[in-house]
Amino acid sequence: MWNRYKINCQTCEKVTNLRLHIPEKEKLELSFNCPNCSSEIKGVLHVNLEEGSFYLDMKRGNLVYGHPNQGDYFYEYSDTIITNKPSEELHNIMLPTFRLPRKQFDALKDRKDLRLFFSEDIWTDLKDLTRAYIRFDMSNIEKVGRKILGNKNDYVDYLECKIEPDFHRIYFLSLNHIIYPWIDFDNHRDFVLWLTQNVFVENNVEELKEFVDVFDEYVCEKIREDMGGLLIRFIDLKDYFLYANPEDLRKDGFAAINNFDHLKTFYTDCFEFMGRTSQYVFRLQNIYERGNQNSVPPGTPRNVTDADSFALLKNGLKLSIIELSTEENFKRIYRNCFDSRLRNGINHFKVKIDANTQLITYFPLENRSSQEFTIQYIDFLNKSLQLFNSALKIGQIMKMVANFRGFGLR
On whether residue 161 sits in a domain, the answer given is no
Q: pTM of whole model > 0.85?
A: yes
DSSP state of 251: T
For residue 355, the SS3 value is coil
What pLDDT is stored for residue 81 in this prediction?
Answer: 84
- Shared domain for 191 and 87, answered yes or no, is no
The count of C-alpha atoms lying within 13 angstroms of the C-alpha of 239, restricted to the half-sphere facing its C-beta, is 11
Q: What span, in angstroms and rounded, lies between the C-alpha atoms of 149 and 178?
A: 10
346, part of any domain: yes
**82 domain residue, yes or no:** yes
Flag whether 126 is in a domain.
no
Looking at the structure, tell me whether residues 90 and 224 fall in a common domain.
no
| pLDDT reported for residue 222 | 96
pLDDT at 154: 65
73 within a domain of the structure (yes/no): yes
Q: Rounded distance, CA 282 to CA 334, Å?
A: 12
User: Is residue 95 located within the same domain as residue 191?
Assistant: no
Burial (Cβ within 10 Å: 0-12, 13-18, ≥19) of residue 80: buried
> Looking at residue 254, what DSSP letter applies?
B
Domain end call among 76, 99, 122: 99
The span from the CA of 302 to the CA of 211, in Å, is: 23
**Residue 145 placed within a domain:** no
Domain final residue, candidates 99, 129, 156: 99
Which pLDDT does position 284 carry in this prediction? 96
Q: Is 357 exposed, middle or buried (0-12, 13-18, 19+ CB in 10 A)?
A: middle
Give the span between the Cα atoms of 376 and 373, in whole angstroms. 11
H or E element in which residue 143 lies? helix 138-149
* pLDDT the model gives residue 369: 63
Does some domain include residue 149? no
Residues 93 and 238 in one domain: no
- Say whether both 88 and 190 belong to one domain: no
Into how many domains does the chain fold?
2
How many Å separate Cα 358 from the centre of its chain?
18
**Domain boundary residue among 54, 73, 99?**
99
pLDDT tens string, the chain, 410 residues long: the values are 889 999 999 999 999 999 999 988 899 999 999 999 999 999 999 999 888 899 999 999 999 998 888 899 999 999 988 888 888 887 776 666 566 667 777 777 788 888 889 999 999 999 999 999 999 999 999 999 999 987 665 666 677 788 888 899 999 999 988 998 888 777 788 899 999 999 999 999 999 999 999 999 999 999 999 999 999 999 999 999 998 886 665 556 888 888 898 999 999 999 999 999 999 999 999 999 999 999 999 999 999 999 999 999 998 899 999 999 989 999 989 988 888 889 988 887 688 899 888 999 998 776 666 688 999 999 999 999 999 999 999 999 999 999 898 777 66
Same domain? 77 vs 210: no
Same domain, 234 and 86: no
Residue ranges making up the domain that contains 42:
2-99
Evaluate whether residue 214 is within a structural domain: yes
